[in-house]
Structure 1
Amino acid sequence: MTVSLIKGSHFLFVSFYLSTLFFLTLSTCYALPTKEVSKNVSNEHVLNNVMTEKTKSLRQLSDFERLVATKMALDIRYFCPEASPTKSESTKPEYTKQSGATEPCLQPVTKLPQVLAEMVTVTGLGSVVLFAENLITTEQIIQLTYDLQQAAVQSPSGQPLIISIDQEGGRVVRLPHATSFAGNMAIGATYADHGVKFATQTSTVIAKELTALGINNNYAPVVDVNTNAANPVINTRSFGENPQQVAELGVAAVNGFQQNGVMATLKHFPGHGDTHVDSHLGLPLVAHDLATIEKQDLAPFQWAINHSEPAMIMTAHIQYPALDNSTVVNNAGEKIIRPATMSRKILTDLLREKMGYDGIIATDALDMAGIAHYFDEVTAVVETFVAGADLAVMPFKIRKTEDIELFYQFIKDVAQSLQQKIHHNALLSTELMQSIARINRYKAQYCQPPEISVAKQILLAEQLIAQPEHLALEQTLANNAVAQLRAKQNSLPVNVADINRIHLFVLNWQEFGALKHAIINQWQRGGKAAPAVSATVVAQGDTQAQLQNGDKLAKADLVIATVDTKIASAVTSVVDTGGAEDLLTQITSMKNEQHEVGYSLLLSYQLQQAQKQKIPSVLIAKGSPYLLHPYIDLASTILVNFDDHIYQKKDEQSGNEQAYSSGYITSMAIIFGQQKVRGKLPVSLQ
């Protein structure tokens, strides 16, 4: 018998293999969660009392089937226990019927239903992904993560859950009241003067806040090198266009997360920075040659593997023919180039063997169109496992009670298909056990439930999350990140003595409140009475009234306009709200919010009028700097603050809740001469 030591592990592979099988063999019954787990759902029926014979049969999972479930990560974003069963005439496997529902379930899971707790226990599910809808208050989040872990540790394996979140900072955040920061491109804008300082500090704060809530894995940082100005899904989520800079900042973020108790996830391997297709909506192809791939796309991942120990690397649903030009047959019977997520050449031969990575390989969400539009659920999961992925993320949706039964069937079908693959390639059996060992190794290090009581955990978290020190760092990052794209000679700072009236052009009243607060804040710091502030609020009324709003503008000494480049350009991604499931909701929202349509035209008109009347104007861009070309010659000054977050914060002087933006505070300080521009754009604008 060959005995091999797994890299980075303190346990022999054979020892783990034997102990795992021994434990699973002893575990012939499936315990329900304790009363402590289900105390918030005491009115629900225990599923055992109402199970059909078919359900009882499905719940009898084999050891192998539970191992397969260990390699899955489900979201529990929504669940409708009272939803009507879905009717379908489909001849496909039964679980595909879940896609036939006409009314989507949009009831957020904020407390763990008994039936979901039992599903976690019975299957030995490996991981859960939380979204903004699951995260309301500190107390509620901690109770939810606690209940999830209690359900998990009662599974036959006794292993805790990897509880994951996308808390990148900036454009992609899920926690409602935590410190969010301005995001990766803002951090990249500080690199020239501060190196990796802010990458380390921000990831440290994010990790501490996640740990306090019972969340142990962050799907961050993004280390894609963004070289495509038309990239709809990465752009400001990237640290920049310089591979070495991205690499160093990525390693700093990994260390900041993991030294503070949270697994880090580098994404999206082998690189998503040079695409113009969002993989939530389609299947991108990168046509780089091998030299470019190694120098640009792979460089940050290789650097991180060499200089840190990232717990996870997430795959991209993307085609890289220079790395793997082999084909796979899709649902339509067509041969297409294998996506990286399904490529053994990319995940095993390249990432695992050539690049030397021994952490967890996780797929990007398998419900994204880059996979889901081309492959059925079972094929997608099995192909990713054969390729070398350890964790299949969001391969199946549980949205109603009947979906739980379908999920058991799904596990069995995946297991059966995988066993057929193993029958033809015995190496896959060894790799499966290595994969389980790898997952459990990181669970032992990062995922153990807190030893303190829930009440104590809540108390500590409330003292920690968004504490003044963390919010001060958020403002300090903004102070050092805001960059200048354009400034006419002598346009900055403005002469405060010449300013008696300022006119604002904003999308909505929240924008107006945050911007006005930032203006007043800066004038009060200078010991001066604030100027009069008027505004054109696009969400307020009809377009004709906005176009004729010239009297307010004509009386102004300064025009300040804001633009969210996602809205102004109609370039957006469902990643901003969550995932592929949001596409329908997003389209409906756009139809209902007609004031956003044409915002760019209205903005251009306002800036043109200011220009004609020789009124100085400042445009503050929130989001991607790539999309500002229409305004380059219209505004006197353009500032880029990268961040589009506005939240309610208690005003230091009045004590009242106030709309607040750290980027606006910095921008006003620059405009009115309280500080100089410090940020430097980490990308080229062509």
Structure 2
Amino acid sequence: MASATIAGLKDYNVIGCAKHFPGHGDTATDSHYGLPIVNKSKAELLNNELKPYKIAINQGIEMIMTAHILYPQLDNTTVVSEKTGNEEKKPATMSKAIITDLLKGEMGFNGVVTTDAMNMKAIADTFGESQAVKLAIEAGADLICMPTVLYNQEDVKKLDTIIDYVEDAVNNGEISESRLDDGCRRILTVKENRGILDWKESNFSLNKALSTVGSATNRATEREIAAAAVTVVKNENNTLPLVVKEKQKILMLCPYDNERAQMIMGYNRAKEAGLIPDSAEVKVVRYNGLNMDAVKENIDWADTVFVNSEISAASRFSSNHWLYSNVEDIVDYTHEKGKKSIVMSVDKPYDVQMYANADAILAVYGCKGSSVDVTEAIVGGVTSSKAAYGPNIIAGIEVALGTFGAQGTLPVNIPVYDKIAKLYTDTIKYKRGYGITYQSLLNKDTLNDLISKAESLDSKKYTEESWNKLVSVLAVAKEVANTNGVSQKKIDEAIASLQSAMDALVEKPVETKPEEPKKDDTKKEDTKKENTKKENTKKEDTKKDNVKTGDSTAILPLVTLMGLACVAFIFLKKKRA
């Protein structure tokens, strides 16, 4: 997943940053509030935590962020803190052994090393700002993130103090010039590779940024990505996609007000797509702060219940923590009443193994809400609002209601959590790559079949005007077919328009040319004419021969007659004598 992300960032000329090196997963303390310790050997780290970093380095990642975490088996050295006056162990951010020797040396990272925010308590509680920056640069950090906090113009002076402190460290030899040169070279190389050194203000204007970020195109892409990620892990009796019927009542429950707009927005999109009848009703309620009796009253009203589960840490899998216990109570009561419950995991997906009585469970991987008032979302204003809002909860509702199909798979294994022992076991409930899939309720089969039929037609057979009209309508139809979440009404309109354009095609008139006789027929005709000519010539010759030669068959009667005439003449002459 990280490799694909890195490749995608590169395609769009964005500098990727892998964090937090050497690893921030196996900890019990949040470095924002304390200093975590990972007491693992180098061999263990190379076999686990460091593996994704090696892959990222091989993929050409250009920046890596350090972790404010102690790794005593990698570096157990100490330094006297000017803030506490005590010998303090150095976290990875301040460790030359970890940043320079391991990351830049052994692992061959040639990009930029940046620190995590230096105002976090893991650093700030132990070291002063200036010393912390100096120790990080000394260790091999090339960029310092938030060396101080700036609230006003006066605070800029604090930066001057830090810079002067670092300059003194260079002058007295604590930081070598070669260390600064290495950092500058790395930073400039990344800038050159990304075209930042050729920066032109005209190419990066505020107006251009405002017209791009949060634009309709951006939002459409965001919507597609978020919906494709939604992962269904449980779907009893094909609860999903939910086919909403006439007068059906849907209750949506969430822990915080800023998630209400997201849930109703997903519902409204399904309604716009033609999947929600006008007679259906929806109610969105925040369950945090309500007693269970009030929540039960809402469940009694509903036919189907959606509820967001927002569990960010295993420590919350407890009947004493409202974020878990409320959802479990909601699911169990809904089941008891014989109604359908659909749980959306909106934070880390490890809670998808919980809630045994839920009819369907899906993970959406994001709980970012919205500052937009829910009433604005009801009328659809949030879709065009410039206010920031998270796409994940919206996508979860859209997938559950069938505006999008389900196609996501789990990016991690989900190990079984033992609530009594309060730890994850080695048993895997759902494996990485698992996910239940189904098609969108929006039917595009007819449209796709019609598009295929239109594409198979021969343009040479039709008039230019009618063909050009078909091409134009076909382009629109293909856009509708390739766009997820488009309404059934638009699909049907595209079908009607394309069919109409196909029916309106005008065939070109057939050009009639004198039929040329075939060679065989010509030969036969010539032979016939020749034979006729010969026959006529023969008859003519026969006639001529009859006159010239006196054929015995034809002249014999004439000779006989002449002979008789002569005999008669002689006989009469003798009689007279």
**Distance 1:611-1:399 versus aligned 2 partners, 3 A rule:** same
1:641 is displaced (CA, Å) by 0.5
Counterpart secondary structure, 1:390 = coil
1:525-554: per-residue Cα shift (whole Å, max 9, x none)? Answer: 345514112343336xx634x523434322
Aligned AA (1:432): L
1:569 is displaced (CA, Å) by 6.9
Residue 303 of structure 2 aligns with which residue?
A: 557
Determine if contact 2:254/2:307 at 8 Å carries over to the other structure: yes
Write out aligned runs for 1:389-404 (5 A).
389-404=141-156
Q: In structure 1, how many angstroms separate the alpha carbons of the residues matched to 2:271 and 2:243?
A: 12
Q: In structure 1, how many angstroms separate the alpha carbons of the residues matched to 2:294 and 2:64?
A: 53
1:408 is displaced (CA, Å) by 2.8
1:616 is displaced (CA, Å) by 0.8
Write out aligned runs for 1:290-329 (5 A).
290-308=42-60, 310-329=61-80
**Distance 1:652-1:637 versus aligned 2 partners, 3 A rule:** closer
Determine if contact 2:16/2:62 at 8 Å carries over to the other structure: yes
1:605 is displaced (CA, Å) by 2.6
Determine if contact 2:74/2:98 at 8 Å carries over to the other structure: yes
Determine if contact 1:562/1:620 at 8 Å carries over to the other structure: yes
Determine if contact 2:17/2:65 at 8 Å carries over to the other structure: yes
Matched, 1:501 2:225: no
**Distance 1:527-1:619 versus aligned 2 partners, 3 A rule:** closer
Residue 232 of structure 1 aligns with which residue?
A: none
1:610 is displaced (CA, Å) by 0.8
1:668 is displaced (CA, Å) by 3.3
Of 116, 120, 140, 1:388 maps to 140
Determine if contact 1:569/1:627 at 8 Å carries over to the other structure: no
Q: In structure 2, how many angstroms separate the alpha carbons of the residues matched to 1:515 and 1:558?
A: 14
1:369 is displaced (CA, Å) by 1.4
Determine if contact 2:346/2:393 at 8 Å carries over to the other structure: no
Of 439, 461, 464, 2:212 maps to 464
1:665 is displaced (CA, Å) by 4.3
Matched, 1:620 2:372: no
1:674 is displaced (CA, Å) by 4.8
Matched, 1:608 2:332: yes
For structure 1, which runs of at least 5 residues remain unmatched after alignment?
1-244, 572-596
Q: In structure 1, how many angstroms separate the alpha carbons of the residues matched to 2:217 and 2:158?
A: 47
For structure 2, which runs of at least 5 residues remain unmatched after alignment?
416-577
Determine if contact 1:478/1:666 at 8 Å carries over to the other structure: yes
Write out aligned runs for 1:133-282 (5 A).
245-246=1-2, 248-256=3-11, 259-260=12-13, 262-282=14-34
Of 290, 305, 309, 1:543 maps to 290
**RMSD between superposed Cα atoms in Å:** 3.5
Determine if contact 1:670/1:677 at 8 Å carries over to the other structure: yes
Counterpart secondary structure, 1:274 = coil
1:558 is displaced (CA, Å) by 0.7
Aligned AA (2:350): Y
1:519 is displaced (CA, Å) by 2.3
Residue 184 of structure 2 aligns with which residue?
A: 436
Aligned AA (1:434): D
Residue 411 of structure 2 aligns with which residue?
A: 682
1:643 is displaced (CA, Å) by 1.6
**Distance 1:318-1:551 versus aligned 2 partners, 3 A rule:** closer
**Distance 1:343-1:673 versus aligned 2 partners, 3 A rule:** same
Matched, 1:635 2:358: yes
1:321 is displaced (CA, Å) by 2.7
Of 97, 101, 106, 1:349 maps to 101
Residue 513 of structure 2 aligns with which residue?
A: none
Q: In structure 1, how many angstroms separate the alpha carbons of the residues matched to 2:381 and 2:151?
A: 40
Matched, 1:371 2:118: no
1:497 is displaced (CA, Å) by 4.0
Aligned AA (1:614): G
**Distance 1:490-1:458 versus aligned 2 partners, 3 A rule:** closer
Deviates more, 1:406-415 or 1:387-396: 406-415
Aligned AA (2:139): A
Write out aligned runs for 1:559-574 (5 A).
559-566=305-312
1:119-173: per-residue Cα shift (whole Å, max 9, x none)? Answer: xxxxxxxxxxxxxxxxxxxxxxxxxxxxxxxxxxxxxxxxxxxxxxxxxxxxxxx
Matched, 1:413 2:159: no
Write out aligned runs for 1:39-188 (5 A).
none
Determine if contact 2:31/2:122 at 8 Å carries over to the other structure: yes
Matched, 1:668 2:397: yes
Residue 504 of structure 2 aligns with which residue?
A: none
Counterpart secondary structure, 1:268 = strand
1:434 is displaced (CA, Å) by 2.9
Q: In structure 2, how many angstroms separate the alpha carbons of the residues matched to 1:390 and 1:663?
A: 35
If the length of structure 1 is used for normalisation, what is the TM-score? Answer: 0.53
Determine if contact 2:232/2:361 at 8 Å carries over to the other structure: yes
Determine if contact 2:232/2:362 at 8 Å carries over to the other structure: yes
Of 100, 109, 112, 1:360 maps to 112
The count of corresponding residues between Structure 1 and Structure 2 is 404
Aligned AA (1:270): P
Q: In structure 1, how many angstroms separate the alpha carbons of the residues matched to 2:136 and 2:272?
A: 58
1:496 is displaced (CA, Å) by 3.5
1:505 is displaced (CA, Å) by 1.7
Counterpart secondary structure, 1:562 = strand
1:236-263: per-residue Cα shift (whole Å, max 9, x none)? Answer: xxxxxxxxx43x235324523xx52x43
Counterpart secondary structure, 1:565 = coil
1:283 is displaced (CA, Å) by 1.4
1:482 is displaced (CA, Å) by 0.6
Q: In structure 1, how many angstroms separate the alpha carbons of the residues matched to 2:130 and 2:6?
A: 35
Q: In structure 1, how many angstroms separate the alpha carbons of the residues matched to 2:138 and 2:146?
A: 17
Q: In structure 2, how many angstroms separate the alpha carbons of the residues matched to 1:490 and 1:453?
A: 54
Determine if contact 1:569/1:600 at 8 Å carries over to the other structure: no
Residue 211 of structure 1 aligns with which residue?
A: none
1:353 is displaced (CA, Å) by 1.8
1:390-415: per-residue Cα shift (whole Å, max 9, x none)? Answer: 22222233434554445433322332
Determine if contact 1:360/1:390 at 8 Å carries over to the other structure: yes
Higher relative contact order (Cα pairs below 8 Å, separated by 6+ residues): 1
Deviates more, 1:344-353 or 1:373-382: 373-382
Determine if contact 1:565/1:628 at 8 Å carries over to the other structure: no
Q: In structure 2, how many angstroms separate the alpha carbons of the residues matched to 1:329 and 1:375?
A: 9
Residue 234 of structure 2 aligns with which residue?
A: 486
Determine if contact 1:382/1:418 at 8 Å carries over to the other structure: no
**Distance 1:316-1:633 versus aligned 2 partners, 3 A rule:** same
1:320 is displaced (CA, Å) by 2.0
Q: In structure 1, how many angstroms separate the alpha carbons of the residues matched to 2:275 and 2:240?
A: 20
Q: In structure 2, how many angstroms separate the alpha carbons of the residues matched to 1:400 and 1:388?
A: 30
**Structure having the larger proportion of residues in helix:** 2
Residue 283 of structure 2 aligns with which residue?
A: 534
**Distance 1:598-1:336 versus aligned 2 partners, 3 A rule:** same
1:447 is displaced (CA, Å) by 3.4
Of 519, 525, 535, 2:267 maps to 519
1:65-106: per-residue Cα shift (whole Å, max 9, x none)? Answer: xxxxxxxxxxxxxxxxxxxxxxxxxxxxxxxxxxxxxxxxxx
**Distance 1:301-1:250 versus aligned 2 partners, 3 A rule:** farther
Aligned AA (1:318): I
Residue 168 of structure 1 aligns with which residue?
A: none
Counterpart secondary structure, 2:338 = coil
1:559 is displaced (CA, Å) by 0.9
